[in-house]
C-alpha cells in the first residue's frame, strides 16, 4: 500500500478500462485512505479486469498524476471502442467524448503551433472524428452531448458544438464516411479565423460594431482558409470554413454567394453554426433555449435552406431537445 497524498492521483471511471488493450500507466485501487496497486504499467487489460471491479462495486480507479498524459493518449487511441461499447452508460460516453475532443481542439485555437506539430494534431483529430461517427447515430447521443458542448465559452467549444450538430444533421443525408469526416473537421475549424481578430471586436454584440470592426469580423472566414493552408484540409472542409456565413438570399459574407452556389454540406455547417451560437451564452446576451433559438432562425428569412431547417427541428425533437 502507498500512503500518498490524494492530490497526486487522478481518478477515472472503471468503464475506461478497455478490453484487449495495453495501458501505459499504473492503475491503483483506493481502499480507505490508501492506494493499492491493481495493474502494472504496460500490463495487458482484458474484459475481466473491468467486470471484476464492477462486480465489487468499484466505480473509480486511479493513476499517478504524472501519468495523466499517458492516460489521455490511451483514451484517444481507443475512443472508438469506448464509444461503441453499449454496456457503458451513454452519459459517460458523451462526457468522455466531450472532454477528449475539447482538450484536443484547444490546441488549434489557443496555441501558436509550428506547422509540423499542427499537422500532427490535425491528423489525430481526424482519427477522433472518424471513430465518433457511429456514436453520433445513437438516438440519445445528441441529447447527452448537448449537456457538455455548451459549457465552454471558448472558440474551440463552439467549434465542437457546431461539429456535433453538423454530424447529426448531415447523417440524415446518409453521406459517405469521407464527406462526413471532412465536414466535421471543417465545422470544428470554421471560426479559426477569429483567432487573428482583436478580442474587443469578438466580445461585442455584432449589431453594434463600427463599419471597420464589421469589416474585420466579416473577413474571418477568408482568414480561416488562409490559416488552414498549414493543414491538409480537403476541399469540402475548406468550403465549410469559407461558406459558413453565406446566406440563401446572397446577403451573406465573405462572397455574397447565392443558394445554388453554396454546397449543401456547407449549408449544414452554416445552420449548425447559427443554432450552436444562439444556444451558447455570450458576453452580450444569455444562451437561448432550443425552442427560442429555432424561433430566431426561422424568423431570419433568406438565411438558411428551409428544408434543412425542417430537418434540424425534427432532429432536435427526436433528441427531446425541442
* Cβ count near 228 (within 10 Å): 21
Side by side, the strands of the sheet bearing 9-13 are: 9-13, 60-64, 27-31, 34-39
Domain ranges, ordered by start, for the chain: 1-67, 78-318
Residue 1 pLDDT exceeds 70: no
SS3 category, 84: coil
Q: Which of these, 145, 135, 10, 148, lies nearest to 79 by C-alpha position?
A: 135
Average pLDDT, integer, range 246-265? 96
pLDDT, the chain, mean: 91
- Considering only CA atoms, which of 276, 273, 202 is closest in space to residue 243? 273
Q: Which residue has the cell 477522433?
A: 128
Res 115: pLDDT: 78
Q: What is the pLDDT of residues 264-306, one digit of tens each?
A: 999 999 999 999 999 998 888 899 999 999 999 999 999 999 9
The per-residue pLDDT for 23 is: 93
How far apart CA 20 and CA 27 sit, in angstroms, is 16
* Nearest of 51, 71, 54 to residue 62 by alpha carbon: 71
Question: Per residue in 154-175, pLDDT tens?
Answer: 778 999 999 999 999 999 999 9
Asked whether residue 261 carries a pLDDT value surpassing 90, the answer given is: yes
**pLDDT tens sequence across 191-222:** 999 989 999 999 899 999 999 999 999 999 99
Instruction: Examine the pLDDT at 153 and tell me if it is beyond 70.
Output: no
Signed CA dihedral, 196, 198, 204, 210: sign only: negative
240's CB contacts (< 8 A; 6+ apart) are: 166, 182, 183, 186, 187, 190, 265, 266, 269
Q: What's the whole-number mean pLDDT along residues 57-84?
A: 94
> What percent of the chain has a predicted confidence (pLDDT) above 70?
96
pLDDT band at 124 (very low <50, low <70, confident <90, very high): confident
The CATH code of the domain at 78-318 is 1.10.3210.10
Q: Is the pLDDT of residue 152 over 80?
A: no
Amino acid at each position: 500500500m502507498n500512503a500518498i497524498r490524494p492530490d497526486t492521483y487522478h481518478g477515472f471511471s472503471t468503464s475506461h478500462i478497455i478490453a484487449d488493450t495495453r495501458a501505459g500507466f499504473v492503475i491503483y485501487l483506493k481502499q480507505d485512505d490508501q492506494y493499492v496497486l491493481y495493474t502494472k504499467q504496460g500490463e495487458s487489460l482484458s474484459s475481466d479486469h473491468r467486470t471484476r471491479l464492477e462486480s465489487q462495486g468499484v466505480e473509480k480507479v486511479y493513476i499517478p498524476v504524472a501519468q495523466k498524459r499517458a492516460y489521455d493518449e490511451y483514451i484517444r487511441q481507443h475512443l472508438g471502442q469506448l464509444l461503441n461499447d453499449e454496456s457503458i452508460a451513454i452519459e459517460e460516453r458523451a462526457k468522455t467524448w466531450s472532454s477528449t475532443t475539447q482538450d484536443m481542439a484547444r490546441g488549434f485555437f489557443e496555441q501558436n503551433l509550428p506547422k509540423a506539430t499542427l499537422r500532427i494534431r490535425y491528423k489525430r483529430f481526424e482519427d477522433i472524428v472518424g471513430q465518433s461517427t457511429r456514436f453520433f447515430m445513437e438516438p440519445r447521443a445528441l441529447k447527452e452531448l448537448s449537456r457538455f458542448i455548451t459549457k465552454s465559452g471558448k472558440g474551440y467549444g463552439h467549434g465542437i458544438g457546431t461539429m456535433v450538430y453538423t454530424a447529426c444533421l448531415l447523417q440524415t443525408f446518409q453521406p459517405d464516411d469521407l464527406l462526413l469526416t471532412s465536414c466535421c473537421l471543417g465545422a470544428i475549424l470554421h471560426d479559426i479565423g477569429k483567432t487573428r481578430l482583436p478580442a474587443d471586436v469578438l466580445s461585442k454584440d455584432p449589431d453594434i460594431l463600427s463599419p471597420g470592426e464589421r469589416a474585420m469580423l466579416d473577413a474571418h472566414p477568408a482568414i480561416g482558409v488562409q490559416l488552414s493552408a498549414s493543414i491538409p484540409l480537403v476541399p469540402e472542409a475548406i468550403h465549410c470554413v469559407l461558406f459558413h456565413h453565406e446566406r440563401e438570399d446572397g446577403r451573406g459574407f465573405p462572397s455574397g454567394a447565392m443558394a445554388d452556389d453554396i454546397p449543401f454540406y456547407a449549408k449544414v455547417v452554416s445552420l449548425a453554426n447559427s443554432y450552436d451560437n444562439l444556444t451558447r451564452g455570450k458576453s452580450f446576451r444569455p444562451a437561448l433555449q432550443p425552442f427560442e433559438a429555432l424561433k430566431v432562425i426561422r424568423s431570419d428569412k433568406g438565411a438558411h435552406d428551409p428544408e434543412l431547417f425542417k430537418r434540424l427541428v425534427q432532429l432536435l425533437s427526436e433528441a427531446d431537445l425541442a
